[in-house]
Amino acid sequence: MHIPDGFLNVATVATTYAVSAGGVGNAVRIANKKLGEKQVPLMGVMAAFIFAAQMLNFPIAGGTSGHLTGAALASILLGPWASVLIMTCVLIAQSLIFQDGGLLALGANILNMGIIASFSSYYVYRLIMSLMGNNKRNMLIGSFAGAWIATVLSASAAAVELAVSGVSPLHLVLPAMAGVHALIGIGEGLITGAVLGAVLAARADLLQLKPI
C-alpha cells in the first residue's frame, strides 16, 4: 500500500527518510563492491521488469483484480540488497510517473515496500529452505511464506507510520491493514511461487545466482 502525501507528519517523514537513506546507501555501497559498476545495465533492466510485471493483473473474487508487488520475487531471485535497490527505483518511478505514493512519503514507502519487504521475504525463504531441505516443493512453500510475510509486515509498518502520525489509532489501523494484507498476501505468495516454478522449469540456473 503506497502512502500518499498529506498523511504523515514531519517527524515520521524525517525518521523514515533517514532510515531509508541509510538502507539504500548501504545497498548502493554493497552493489558498488559486488557488482562493480559493470552490471548496472542488468539491474536496470530488472527494475524495468518488476515495473512491467506489476502491470499484469489477475482477477480476484468480486470483480476486483490484483497485481504483484515484486519485492519478494526480486529478493529471492537476486538477493535482498539488489532488491532494495530495484524496489527503490520502482517506487521513485511510481511516485514521479503515476503519482502513486507521495514524494514526502517516499522514505516511508521505500522502508515498507523496499527494505522491510525485501529482507523479511528473503530470510523467511532462506530459513524454510535450510530447515526443510532444498527441493522444488520447499522452494515453492518458502517463496509463498516469504511473499506473504513481506506483504503483511510492510502493511503493518505502514499502519504504524500512519498511527504515529496521528491519522488513526493504532489499535484500529494495525489490525485493519494487517488483516486486508493477509488476504492480499495470499495472492502475492501464490504468484511469486508460480513465477519461481516457471523460472525453475525453463532456466533453473538463474535460481543459482549468487545473491547480493
Partner 1 sequence: MKHSFLDRYSDGDSFMHRLDPRTKFGTALLFILAVALTPPGSWRAFGLYLVIITALLLPARVPILYILKRSLVVMPFVAMLAIFIPFFKGGEVAGSYNVWLWQLTVTYSGIQVLINILLKSWLSILSLIWLTSTTRLPDLLQGLERMRMPRVLVMLMSFMYRYLFILVDEVMRMKQARDSRSFGGRSASGGWQIRTVGNMIGTLFIRSYERGERVYAAMSARGFDGNIRTLNHLSFRLSDALFGMGYSLILIFVGIFSQLY
- Within residues 54-73, the interface with partner 1 by CB under 8 A covers 55-56, 58-59, 68, 73
The string of DSSP codes covering the chain is: -PPPTTSS-HHHHHHHHHHHHHHHHHHHHHHHHHHTTTTHHHHHHHHHHHHHHTT--EE-GGG-EE----HHHHHHHH-HHHHHHHHHHHHHHHHHHH--S-STTHHHHIIIIIIIHHHHHHHHHHHHHHHH-SSHHHHHHHHHHHHHHHHHHHHHHHHHHHHHTTSS-HHHHHHHHHHHHHHHHHHHHHHHHHHHHHHHHH-GGGGGSPP-
What's the min distance (Å) between Cβ of 200 and partner 1?
9
Q: Does 43 bind partner 1 (CB under 8 A)?
A: yes
44 contacts partner 1 (rule: CB under 8 A): yes
Applying the rule CB under 8 A, the residues between 71 and 90 that interact with partner 1 are 73, 77, 85-86, 88-90
Residue number, 120 or 192, with CB nearest to partner 1: 192
Binding mask of the shown chain, residues 146 to 185, with x at each position contacting partner 1 by CB under 8 A: ----------------x----xxx--xx--x---------
Beta carbon of residue 188, minimum distance to partner 1 (angstroms, whole number)? 11
